[in-house]
Amino acid sequence: MGDPLTILIADRNRHVRDLVCRELTAEGYRVLTAKDGREVWLFLRGEAPPDLLVLDLEIPYLEDLAGLAGFAEHGPPLPTIIYCYASEVSEHQTLSREAAVLEKTEDLEDLKAMVALILGRRSPPG
């Protein structure tokens, strides 16, 4: 079996980052976390960019990610899940049109299922 797929969790709330990180790590993924757009860019421009980005639209310095489409021009497109409250999606339509959108809830089963679907897994790794 190869290296685990890497997921970058970008969320303004440390508790959400920690919870999602713990849950996806338990599913067998390698998980990185970022608290703002600047940290996301550091990971995206690093030597080993993530395979998937889970993005909270209310992170600080989100405008630093306006070039996300430009990043995709230099390599394969980065699958992205916009993970936020429903009221926040309409405020950022340009990003959400090019990504899967999932509403935040306390139950992470939908997020885990969407991650598995996007990364091409029919069932959790293990």
Domains and CATH numbers, the chain: 6-118 (3.40.50.2300)
Q: What is the predicted pLDDT for the residue at 55?
A: 92
Q: What is the predicted pLDDT for the residue at 124?
A: 45
Q: What is the predicted pLDDT for the residue at 93?
A: 53
- The H or E element containing residue 119 is none
- The H or E element containing residue 37 is helix 37-44
- Confidence grade of residue 122 (pLDDT, cut at 50, 70, 90): very low
Residue with tokens 């960019």: 49
Question: What does the pLDDT look like over 71-99, one tens digit per residue?
Answer: 555 556 789 998 987 766 555 555 544 57
Question: What does the pLDDT look like over 28-53, one tens digit per residue?
Answer: 999 999 999 999 989 988 898 999 99
* Signed CA dihedral, 32, 27, 92, 11: sign only: negative
Q: What is the predicted pLDDT for the residue at 85?
A: 79
pTM, full prediction: 0.82
Amino acid (one-letter) located at 92 = H
Average pLDDT, the chain: 82
User: If you average pLDDT over residues 105-118, what whole number do you get?
Assistant: 93
| Between 82 and 62, residue with greater pLDDT | 82
